[in-house]
Amino acid sequence: MSAHALRPVLSAPTPLDLSDLTALTRRFAEEVRLGRHTVEVDPDHRWSRRIMADDVVDVWLISWATDQLAELHDHAGSLGALTVVSGSLEEQHWVAGHGLRRRTLHAGRGAAFGLGHVHDVANHQGETAVSVHAYSPPLTAMSYYEETPSGFLRRTRTELTTEPEKVGA
């Protein structure tokens, strides 16, 4: 298999690209900072609310109490982006040939991801984090993964969903 075959695909059946989604999450993150969207925090479960939706994209506001996380997952046929509004989030993302890599996303920073991007997002920083996520086409399914002892990913299940970064079973 060529190295090219292991790279994530950056396009999907949408008129938007990763830079459009990044700009959108930044715009809504600024609206959140200005108090235009109410954020709630649930100490037991991540709170989320869709703040925009149309046929092309959906945008979500998510709060992450300490030690809340999403399982290792992808976004099926959707491109995505996120911007951290406040606090910090830790992302583990799969890099073909290198395994899971960790990075911390601080307030004002974010990430964009094409098809095939497998990641986990968590708040281990001791303070509530808030983030804005955009998916195009709108999110309809997520696949979940585990890392095998030999250092590969194994898909454990795929679920239809209308919620972003959903915590798995």
| 168 within domain boundaries | no
| 5 within domain boundaries | no
| Lowest mean pLDDT across 3-12, 18-27, 68-77 | 3-12
**Residue 146, number of CB atoms within 10 A of its CB:** 11
> What residues make up the domain containing 154?
14-160
Q: pLDDT tens digit string along 103-117?
A: 999 999 999 999 999
| 91 within domain boundaries | yes
| 1 within domain boundaries | no
| 127 within domain boundaries | yes
Q: pLDDT tens digit string along 42-64?
A: 999 999 999 999 999 999 999 99
CA nearest to 67, candidates 108, 119, 109, 128 = 128
Number of structural domains in the chain: 1
Q: Which residues contact 102 (CB under 8 A, 6 or more apart)?
A: 90, 91, 92
CATH of the domain at 76: 2.60.120.10
